[in-house]
Amino acid sequence: MSLDRAARERLVRALAASMIEHAEELTSLDQAIGDGDHGLNMKRGFEAVLATLPGLADKSLPEMLKAIGMTLVMKVGGASGPLVGTFFMELGKALPEQLTRADLIAAADKAIGAVKLRGRSEAGQKTLLDVLVPVQAVFAGGGDARAIAAEAAQAADRTTPMLATRGRASFLGERSIGHMDPGSRSASLLISAAVAALEFEATS
Partner 1 sequence: MSNSSSGNVGIVIVSHSSKIAEGAADMVRQMVGNAVPLAWTGGDTDGGLGTNVAGILEAIEAAWSPAGVAILVDLGGAETNSEMALEMLAEDRRARVVVCNAPVVEGAVIAATESSGGSSLAAVKRSAEEFYA
Cα 148 from Cα 166, distance rounded (Å): 25
Per the CB < 8 A criterion, the answer to whether 19 and 71 are in contact is no
Binding of partner 1 at residue 27 (CB under 8 A)? Answer: no
d(CA 62, CA 38): 26
Which CA distances in Å does 203 have to 58, 123, 169, 198? 23, 33, 41, 9
Task: Check if the beta carbon of residue 184 is closer than 8 Å to that of residue 127.
Answer: yes
Residue 43 as a binder of partner 1 (CB under 8 A): the answer is: no
Cα separation, 104 vs 88, in Å, equals: 12
Contacting partner 1 within 126-185 (CB under 8 A): 167-168
66 binds partner 1 (CB under 8 A): no
Figure out which of the listed residues 39, 82, 92, 182 binds partner 1, where binding follows CB under 8 A: 82
Report yes or no: 72 and 88 within 8 Å, Cβ to Cβ: yes
**Binding residue for partner 1, selected from 18, 41, 125, 186, defined by CB under 8 A:** 41
Q: Does 39 bind partner 1 (CB under 8 A)?
A: no
50 interacts with partner 1 by CB under 8 A:
no
Query: Which of these ranges, 18-26, 34-42, 134-142, 192-200, lies near partner 1 under the rule CB under 8 A?
Result: 34-42
Residue selected from 35, 63, 199, 201 as contacting partner 1 according to rule CB under 8 A: 35
- Selected range binding partner 1 among 2-10, 32-40, 130-138, 149-157, rule: CB under 8 A: 32-40
Q: Does 73 bind partner 1 (CB under 8 A)?
A: yes
68 is a contact residue toward partner 1 (CB under 8 A): no
Q: Is 92 in the site for partner 1 (CB under 8 A)?
A: no
d(CA 85, CA 75): 10
Distance between CA 12 and CA 68 in Å, rounded? 9
Stretch that binds partner 1, among 24-32, 78-86, 141-149, 188-196 (CB under 8 A): 78-86
Q: Do the beta carbons of residue 94 and residue 66 sit within 8 Å?
A: no
Site residues (vs partner 1, CB under 8 A): 35, 37, 40-41, 44, 73-79, 81-83, 85-86, 118-119, 167-168
